[in-house]
Amino acid sequence: MNTAIRLGAAMPSRRQILLPLALAPVAGWAVWAAGVPDSPSHPAGPFHLPLDETTAIWRDLGTVRMGGLSGDPQFPVKVSALDGRPVTVRGFMVPLTEGATHNHFVLSANPMGCSACESPGPATMMHVHTAIALPATREPLTLAGTLRLRPQEGLCYRLDRAEQRWA
């Protein structure tokens, strides 16, 4: 008498075992060929906001790399030329303290909660100092001020004497 019949359950056949194993590489190839991205991409590229005259500066500032033994920022010539110059930039407010208004905050190229955007780093954030406190917002802000490289706040950039601009 057969062992499977004695145990009361039918044993899987060789075909039932080998067929799924044979199809696994084909399924893996189909997923790879479909071009499933490793990470989500944003319609505007690595940045949340579309490219215009107020957001183009983020593309330049984002080219800065950390290097050397101390991890100091390595500024390209185009970015170094902006030190001490007036700039207009649009980004997202990241408050540093609790409260309804802020005159010291971080401006980020991307909002903190967007999973499709490039992760924030020191080259895509700047410390902002304003004379007049601005209300906290999740909407993009357009600010004009003087750009400083290598501030002491730990980020690569600082925007001094910033004022809000309206579209």
User: In whole angstroms, what is the distance from residue 159 CA to residue 83 CA?
Assistant: 10
pTM of the model: 0.69
Domains of the chain: 3-33 (no CATH), 56-165 (2.40.50.870)
Please tell me which of 35-49, 127-141, 147-161 the model is most confident about, judged by mean pLDDT: 127-141
Closest among 106, 103, 109 to 126, alpha carbons compared: 106
Please name every residue paired with 127 in a beta bridge, in sequence order, or none if there are none.
Answer: 106, 158
Please tell me which of 35-44, 47-56, 97-106 the model is most confident about, judged by mean pLDDT: 97-106
Closest among 59, 55, 42 to 92, alpha carbons compared: 55
With 60 as the cut, is the pLDDT of residue 119 above it? Answer: yes
Residues 6+ apart with CB under 8 A from 52: 90
Looking only at the bridges linking them, the beta strands covering 157-165 and 141-149 are: antiparallel
Residues 6+ apart with CB under 8 A from 79: 60, 61, 63, 64, 149
Q: Are 108 and 96 in contact (CB under 8 A)?
A: no
pLDDT > 90 in the chain, percent? 37
Phi-psi domain of 45 (left: phi exceeds 0; alpha: psi -120 through 50; beta: other): left
pLDDT tens by residue, 72-116? 888 899 999 999 999 999 999 999 999 999 999 999 988 877 766
